[in-house]
């Protein structure tokens, strides 16, 4: 009887409980394994835990429910570098509520089977390489509240079925290739708070049905092909916070009651459309407004005086419209004084007339950008403008302003961009401009400035663009101007009255891309040092009085594309090496060149070369229409005599060769011992140093003089005199250490072939015998008083010296210095060189914190120079580096490469800005510094930045917070892209230099 009752109880229990309480559900497991089977790559084996050693609910990224412990409810595998296809079997995870595969490298189509996931609430497939159409079946996921497909390659139309997702709160399908029109069914999404459709190719009109989205806060339709007018119903969305219709083809007028209902509106972007009519006065009713950008439209009329009632306004731009102002119309300047948070005021390219009012001094002291250029403004620049001390950009170009530059502009010490070009300004440039030490771009062209170019401009050590062309400057070019190593974009001094010779210091501009010195009165020869401008792409020296021949050093300017040396007095032959350069345009017309014209390179294209006015030229390709080059009889006889003399000498030379060979062999050993710098010092420019000199100056290698120790030796501080140097660093090789001798010769070979301001400078070396008869080798470098970057990033672990923390701008400058050095080694040296051991301890800092890359003991030439011995091979067999910085492919026997250096630099960059060493104890079980940073990028990037970069808040809001954040995002992005697992995915150092310079500009702005 008791057994019968037990059987009845079990039957009843089985009726009320689901079947999965009695048996493990295998459907979800097989679905996950099917998904894994289509994934071809993952970051550091992210799916390696997906095996039978763990229950599938414990696999990485998998979470199961509480009520149904064997059913998967969450699958989160974002930012793991997954590649492959999305398996349709995920549709079998019928209890799935959240699916996140964002920020990977997935390809293929979105499976239509995902529409069967009726419990799905979150679907995030953003930032992948998915293609094809959005499956309309996603409209069946009735519980979906968040849907993001942004930044893919999706195309076609937006499915109208999305309008059935009644619980949807955020829809983001921006940055794709969708076409056709916006489906009107989206107006059914009454819970929608964010609709983001920007950066597609949507056309047609904005459906009025969107005006039914009463909960909508963010509506972004920018960068599409939408046309027509904005539906009036949109202006009734009272919850709206951000309205972005930028860069479409929308037209019409803004209604007079534009802001009557939009009380919560904070951001409105309508720039790049075809709106017309006046700016409605009702815009002042949007009391929460922070940013207004109406630029690049056809607005007319005046700026409403009531604009000043928007006390929270930070950004106001109506650039490139038809707005006018005369007389009292300028009163809006007075009203803007109430906008105490105003940072950007751009009124350029309009019809503003008359004089700039003196009330400009009453504008917010927070103002950072002021644009008034390209207006018919007249009068003088008001001296009161000097009170806007936080300005970083001042644009007053292309107006009718006259008079002189007020010296008060020198008070704008934060100014980074100053545009006074195309005006009627005259007089001399005030020396107070030299106070603007943060200047990036100075444009004063097309005025009537006189006098000489002030030397004080050399104080602008961050200047990348200087344009003083089309003025009346006289005198010589100041040599100090060539100390501006920051000049990287353009130097334009053309069309002035500058005289004298072209200073040899021009070769110091080793980062500059364009030089224009045309139509001056420069004389003398083209300096041979010009090859120092190894990044130069455009060089215009035409219209001067230069003489002499084309210097041989020009052949080293491998990036030169546009060369104009016409209308001078240059002579001699046109060198053959010019046919081997990458020139795309060459103008040598109206000089005195003679001889045969080369036929290679740019000379093959007659339309790309101008040779007029050189009557003694001959040869060349037939399209040049030059006479043939013919040797006369005298030249033939002269050549015959030379041939006879050569034949007679051959016999004697053969006899001498044998004798010289034995003499050279006998002397080699003695010479190798006495030569202070093997491979490096083959001339007299290096001061000889003996073993006794080093022993004396290091106090017999006293420990108090020890400043560092590495794999192959120790570094001592010593008082030695070399030119202007009185203190040096002596690297003594430990020759008992395997590879130390090879490291010594490697470093000598590299350092004799490179010269760069961000590479450690070798002063001499010693290869001798110590007092015990053992071989002794040492290198003497310039001493870096601020030590290594390692001691600044991790002072507690490196030394007991209390260092202050490096500031953000100091770290950024150091990062740019190191990247510039690598760029030189990889792309601009005599042969591509790979450092192979980049880390903080090999980055040294001089007295002004300029970074120098050192320790080339593991360096490799990718292309063998002729003079290299077999000691330096391109193979990385047995290659050693430093743990944490070695690229993964080196550990698998990969070849040394510039991509390997990029990886080490990426880790170094991440370490500099997070303060975390790549060998930190937290990085275990496959976790790495790259992964640690990538998981926080980019929304939480501030959370992983070194806290020492942000001192304790004193209660005031950081006015530069946005710039700091944007700068850090750019820097961290560079670090992540450089340290990608696959070498093919890493960006080049040249791109890093550009990106970091851009980040520095963002920070300074």
Cα–Cα dist 593/825, whole Å? 36
How confident is the model at residue 676, as a pLDDT? 40
The domain that contains 737 carries what CATH number?
A: 3.30.200.20
Are 715 and 730 in contact by the 8 Å Cβ rule? The answer is yes
For the stretch 677-686, pLDDT in tens is 443 433 334 5
How confident is the model at residue 877, as a pLDDT? 36
Cα–Cα dist 675/671, whole Å? 6
User: What share of the chain has pLDDT > 70, as a percent?
Assistant: 85
Comparing 204-218, 297-311, 313-327, 852-866, the range with the smallest average pLDDT is 852-866
CA atoms within 13 A on the CB side of 205: 13
Cα–Cα dist 963/944, whole Å? 17
Are 99 and 117 in contact by the 8 Å Cβ rule? The answer is yes
Rounded average pLDDT over 514-536: 93
How confident is the model at residue 776, as a pLDDT? 86
Are 221 and 198 in contact by the 8 Å Cβ rule? The answer is yes
In eight-state DSSP terms, residue 805 is: P
Rounded average pLDDT over 374-386: 93
Burial 917-933 (b: 16+ CB within 10 A, else e): bbebeebeeeebbbbbb
Comparing 99-108, 698-707, 901-910, the range with the smallest average pLDDT is 698-707
767 and 844 assigned to the same domain: no
State whether the Cα torsion 216-221-226-228 is positive or negative. positive
Would residue 267 count as lying in a domain? no
Q: Select the more confidently predicted residue: 657 or 633.
A: 657
Rounded average pLDDT over 342-358: 92
Cα–Cα dist 377/425, whole Å? 13
In this prediction, residue 192 has a pLDDT band, given cuts at 50, 70 and 90, of very high
Rounded average pLDDT over 924-937: 82
The domain that contains 70 carries what CATH number?
A: 3.80.10.10
Using DSSP's 3-state secondary structure scheme, residue 253 falls into strand
822 and 933 assigned to the same domain: yes
For the stretch 408-467, pLDDT in tens is 999 999 999 999 999 999 999 999 999 999 999 999 999 999 999 999 999 999 999 999
In eight-state DSSP terms, residue 788 is: B
How confident is the model at residue 633, as a pLDDT? 45
Longest dimension (CA), the chain: 135
Cα–Cα dist 137/996, whole Å? 44
pLDDT at residue 9 tops 90: no
544 and 588 assigned to the same domain: yes
Tokens of 879: 């290659």
Q: Which H/E stretch holds residue 740?
A: helix 740-753
716 and 862 assigned to the same domain: no
865 and 757 assigned to the same domain: no
How confident is the model at residue 642, as a pLDDT? 67
Write out the DSSP string of 341-390: T--EEE--SSEE-EEPPGGGGGS-TT--EEE--SS-EESPPPGGGGG-TT
**Radius of gyration from C-alpha coordinates of the chain:** 35
pLDDT at residue 45 tops 90: no
pLDDT at residue 638 tops 60: no
Tokens of 323: 């707005």
How confident is the model at residue 254, as a pLDDT? 92
Parallel/antiparallel/unpaired status of strands 194-196 and 170-172? parallel
Cα–Cα dist 754/369, whole Å? 42
The residue among 325, 182, 315 whose CA lies nearest residue 250 is: 182
**Residue 848 neighbours by CB distance under 10 Å:** 8
Comparing 138-152, 495-509, 859-873, the range with the smallest average pLDDT is 859-873
Q: Domain total for the chain?
A: 4
User: What share of the chain has pLDDT > 90, as a percent?
Assistant: 54
pLDDT at residue 17 tops 70: no
How confident is the model at residue 251, as a pLDDT? 93
Residue ranges of alpha helices (H) inside 237-352 are: 332-335
How confident is the model at residue 796, as a pLDDT? 63
714 and 620 assigned to the same domain: no
Cα–Cα dist 481/455, whole Å? 7
How confident is the model at residue 953, as a pLDDT? 42
Would residue 322 count as lying in a domain? no
Pairs from 629-632 (Cβ < 8 Å, separation ≥ 24) = 629/595, 629/596
Cα–Cα dist 733/823, whole Å? 28
The domain that contains 841 carries what CATH number?
A: 1.10.510.10
Would residue 978 count as lying in a domain? yes
In eight-state DSSP terms, residue 828 is: I
Are 989 and 897 in contact by the 8 Å Cβ rule? The answer is no
Q: Select the more confidently predicted residue: 115 or 725.
A: 115
pLDDT at residue 932 tops 90: no
Those residues with Cβ within 8 angstroms of residue 858's Cβ, 6 or more apart along the chain or in another chain: 743, 746, 835, 836, 837, 879, 880, 881
**Count of all residues that appear for the chain in the document:** 1005
Cα–Cα dist 483/516, whole Å? 17
**Residue 961 neighbours by CB distance under 10 Å:** 11
Rounded average pLDDT over 933-945: 83
Those residues with Cβ within 8 angstroms of residue 978's Cβ, 6 or more apart along the chain or in another chain: 902, 903, 905, 906, 907, 909, 986, 987, 992
Would residue 498 count as lying in a domain? yes
How confident is the model at residue 637, as a pLDDT? 52
pLDDT at residue 625 tops 60: yes
Would residue 295 count as lying in a domain? no
Q: What is the mean pLDDT of the chain?
A: 85
Q: Which H/E stretch holds residue 989?
A: helix 989-1004
- Write out the residue range of the structural domain in which residue 711 sits: 674-783
State whether the Cα torsion 285-287-289-293 is positive or negative. positive
For the stretch 797-838, pLDDT in tens is 554 444 578 889 999 999 999 999 998 888 876 678 888 889
Q: Which H/E stretch holds residue 33?
A: helix 27-37
In this prediction, residue 373 has a pLDDT band, given cuts at 50, 70 and 90, of very high
Those residues with Cβ within 8 angstroms of residue 20's Cβ, 6 or more apart along the chain or in another chain: 68, 70, 71
How confident is the model at residue 597, as a pLDDT? 93
Residue 252 bridge partners (DSSP): 275
62 and 205 assigned to the same domain: yes
Would residue 481 count as lying in a domain? yes
User: What does the CA dihedral 402, 404, 406, 407 come to, rounded to 10 degrees?
Assistant: 160
How confident is the model at residue 682, as a pLDDT? 39
**Residue 162 neighbours by CB distance under 10 Å:** 22
Comparing 51-65, 472-486, 938-952, the range with the smallest average pLDDT is 938-952
Rounded average pLDDT over 482-486: 90
Residue 895, judged by CB atoms within 10 A of its CB (0-12, 13-18, 19+), counts as: middle
Domain boundary among 783, 817, 835: 783
Q: Select the more confidently predicted residue: 646 or 245.
A: 245
**Residue 870 neighbours by CB distance under 10 Å:** 6
Cα–Cα dist 278/445, whole Å? 35
Comparing 54-68, 418-432, 477-491, 792-806, the range with the smallest average pLDDT is 792-806
Active site residue 28: no
- Marked catalytic residue, from 346, 531, 837, 855: 837
163 and 33 assigned to the same domain: yes
How confident is the model at residue 875, as a pLDDT? 35
How confident is the model at residue 881, as a pLDDT? 64
**Residue 967 neighbours by CB distance under 10 Å:** 24
777 and 801 assigned to the same domain: no
In this prediction, residue 327 has a pLDDT band, given cuts at 50, 70 and 90, of confident
Cα–Cα dist 219/170, whole Å? 10
How confident is the model at residue 534, as a pLDDT? 86
State whether the Cα torsion 758-763-765-770 is positive or negative. negative
For the stretch 696-750, pLDDT in tens is 888 888 888 888 777 678 889 888 887 677 888 998 887 766 566 666 666 666 6
Pairs from 64-67 (Cβ < 8 Å, separation ≥ 24) = 65/95
How confident is the model at residue 55, as a pLDDT? 92
CA distances from 741 to 747, 751, 873 (A): 10, 16, 15
In this prediction, residue 4 has a pLDDT band, given cuts at 50, 70 and 90, of very low
How confident is the model at residue 867, as a pLDDT? 38
Domain boundary among 783, 806, 833: 783
Domain boundary among 762, 783, 804: 783
Those residues with Cβ within 8 angstroms of residue 719's Cβ, 6 or more apart along the chain or in another chain: 697, 726, 727, 728
How confident is the model at residue 652, as a pLDDT? 64
Cα–Cα dist 441/467, whole Å? 8
Those residues with Cβ within 8 angstroms of residue 913's Cβ, 6 or more apart along the chain or in another chain: 811, 945, 946, 949, 968, 971, 972, 975
Write out the DSSP string of 572-615: E---GGGGTS--SEEE--SSEEEEEEP-SGGGG-GGGEE-TT-T
604 and 680 assigned to the same domain: no
Would residue 400 count as lying in a domain? no
734 and 883 assigned to the same domain: no
Are 474 and 497 in contact by the 8 Å Cβ rule? The answer is yes
pLDDT at residue 794 tops 60: yes
Would residue 377 count as lying in a domain? no
686 and 594 assigned to the same domain: no
Those residues with Cβ within 8 angstroms of residue 613's Cβ, 6 or more apart along the chain or in another chain: 566, 589, 590, 591
pLDDT at residue 137 tops 70: yes
Are 915 and 793 in contact by the 8 Å Cβ rule? The answer is yes
């Amino acid at each position: 009887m008791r057994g019968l009752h037990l059987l009845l109880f079990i039957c009843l229990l089985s009726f009320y409980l689901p079947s999965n309480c009695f048996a493990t559900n295998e459907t979800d497991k097989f679905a996950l394994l099917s998904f894994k089977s289509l994934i071809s790559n993952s970051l550091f084996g992210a799916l390696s835990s997906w095996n039978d050693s763990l229950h599938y609910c414990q696999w990485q990224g998998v979470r199961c429910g509480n009520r149904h412990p064997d059913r998967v409810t969450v699958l989160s595998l974002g930012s793991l570098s997954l590649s492959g296809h999305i398996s349709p079997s995920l549709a079998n995870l019928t209890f799935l509520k959240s699916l996140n595969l964002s920020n990977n490298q997935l390809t293929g189509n979105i499976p239509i089977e995902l529409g069967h996931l009726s419990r799905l609430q979150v679907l995030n497939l953003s930032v992948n390489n998915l293609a094809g159409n959005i499956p309309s079946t996603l409209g069946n996921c009735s519980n979906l509240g968040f849907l993001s497909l942004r930044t893919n390659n999706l195309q076609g139309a937006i499915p109208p079925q999305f309008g059935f997702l009644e619980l949807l709160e955020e829809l983001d399908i921006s940055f794709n290739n969708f076409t056709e029109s916006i489906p009107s069914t989206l107006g059914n999404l009454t819970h929608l708070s964010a609709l983001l459709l920007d950066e597609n190719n949507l056309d047609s009109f904005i459906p009025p049905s969107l005006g039914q989205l009463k909960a909508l806060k963010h509506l972004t339709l920018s960068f599409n092909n939408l046309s027509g007018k904005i539906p009036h119903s949109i202006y009734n969305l009272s919850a709206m916070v951000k309205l972005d219709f930028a860069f479409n083809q929308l037209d019409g007028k803004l209604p007079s009651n534009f802001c009557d209902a939009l009380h919560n509106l904070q951001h409105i972007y309508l720039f790049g459309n075809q709106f017309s009519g006046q700016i409605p006065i009702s815009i002042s009713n949007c009391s929460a407004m922070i940013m207004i950008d109406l630029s690049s439209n056809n607005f007319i009329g005046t700026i409403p005086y009531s604009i000043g009632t928007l006390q929270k306004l930070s950004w106001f731009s109506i650039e490139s419209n038809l707005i006018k102002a005369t007389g009292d119309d300028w009163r809006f300047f007075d009203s803007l004084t109430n906008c105490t948070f105003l940072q950007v005021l751009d009124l350029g390219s309009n019809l503003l007339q008359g004089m700039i009012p003196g009330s400009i001094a009453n504008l917010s002291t927070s103002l950072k950008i002021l644009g008034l250029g390209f207006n018919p403004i007249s009068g003088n620049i008001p001296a009161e403008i000097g009170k806007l001390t936080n300005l970083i950009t001042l644009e007053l170009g292309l107006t009718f302003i006259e008079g002189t530059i007020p010296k008060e502009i020198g008070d704008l010490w934060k100014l980074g961009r100053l545009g006074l070009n195309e005006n009627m300004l005259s007089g001399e440039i005030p020396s107070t401009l030299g106070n603007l030490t943060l200047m990036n771009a100075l444009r004063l062209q097309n005025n009537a400035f006189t006098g000489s170019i002030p030397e004080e401009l050399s104080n602008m050590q961050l200047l990348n663009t200087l344009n003083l062309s089309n003025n009346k400057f006289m005198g010589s070019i100041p040599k100090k101007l060539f100390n501006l190593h920051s000049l990287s974009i353009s130097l334009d001094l053309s069309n002035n009255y500058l005289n004298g010779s072209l200073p040899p210091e021009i070769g110091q501009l080793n980062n500059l891309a364009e030089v224009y010195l045309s139509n001056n009165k420069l004389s003398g020869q083209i300096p041979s040092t010009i090859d120092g401008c190894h990044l130069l792409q455009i060089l215009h020296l035409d219209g001067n009085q230069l003489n002499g021949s084309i210097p041989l050093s020009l052949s080293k300017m491998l990036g030169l594309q546009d060369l104009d040396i016409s209308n001078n007095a240059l002579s001699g032959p046109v060198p053959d090496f010019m046919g081997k350069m990458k020139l795309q345009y060459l103008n040598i017309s109206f000089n005195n060149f003679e001889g045969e014209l080369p036929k290679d390179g740019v000379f093959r294209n007659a339309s790309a070369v101008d040779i007029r006015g050189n009557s003694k030229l001959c040869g060349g390709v037939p399209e040049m229409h030059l006479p043939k080059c013919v040797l006369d009889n005298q030249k033939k006889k002269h050549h015959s005599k030379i041939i006879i003399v050569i034949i007679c000498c051959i016999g004697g030379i053969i006899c001498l060769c044998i004798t010289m060979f034995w003499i050279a062999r006998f002397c080699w050993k003695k010479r190798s011992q006495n030569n202070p710098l093997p491979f490096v010092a083959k001339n007299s420019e290096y001061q000889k140093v003996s073993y006794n000199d080093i022993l004396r100056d290091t106090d017999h290698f006293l420990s108090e003089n020890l400043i560092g120790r590495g794999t192959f030796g120790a570094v001592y501080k010593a008082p030695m005199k070399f030119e202007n140097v009185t203190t040096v660093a002596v690297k003594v090789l430990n020759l008992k250490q395997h590879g130390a001798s090879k490291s010594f010769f490697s470093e000598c070979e590299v350092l004799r072939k490179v010269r760069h301001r961000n590479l450690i400078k070798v002063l001499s070396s010693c290869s001798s015998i110590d007092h015990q008869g053992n071989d002794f080798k040492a290198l003497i470098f310039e001493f870096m008083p601020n030590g290594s970057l390692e001691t600044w990033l991790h002072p507690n672990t490196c030394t007991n010296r209390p260092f202050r923390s490096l500031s953000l701008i100091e770290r950024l400058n150091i990062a740019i210095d190191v990247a510039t050095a690598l760029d030189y080694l990889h792309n601009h040296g005599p042969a591509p060189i790979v450092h192979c051991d980049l880390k903080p301890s090999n980055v040294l800092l001089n007295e002004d914190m300029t970074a120098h890359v050192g320790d080339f003991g593991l360096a490799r030439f990718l292309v063998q120079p002729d003079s290299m011995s077999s000691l330096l091979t391109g193979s990385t067999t047995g290659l050693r580096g430093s743990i944490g910085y070695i690229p993964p492919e080196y550990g698998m026997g990969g070849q040394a490469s510039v991509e390997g250096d990029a990886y080490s630099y990426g880790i170094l960059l991440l370490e500099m800005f997070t303060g975390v060493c790549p060998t930190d104890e937290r990085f275990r079980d496959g976790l790495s510094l790259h992964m640690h940073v990538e998981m926080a990028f980019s929304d939480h990037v501030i959370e992983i930045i070194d806290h020492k970069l942000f001192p304790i808040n004193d209660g005031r809001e950081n006015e530069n917070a946005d710039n700091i954040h944007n700068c850090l995002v750019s820097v961290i992005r560079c670090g992540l892209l450089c340290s990608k697992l696959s070498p093919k995915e890493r960006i080049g150092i040249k791109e890093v230099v550009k990106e970091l310079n851009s980040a520095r500009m963002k920070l300074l702005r």
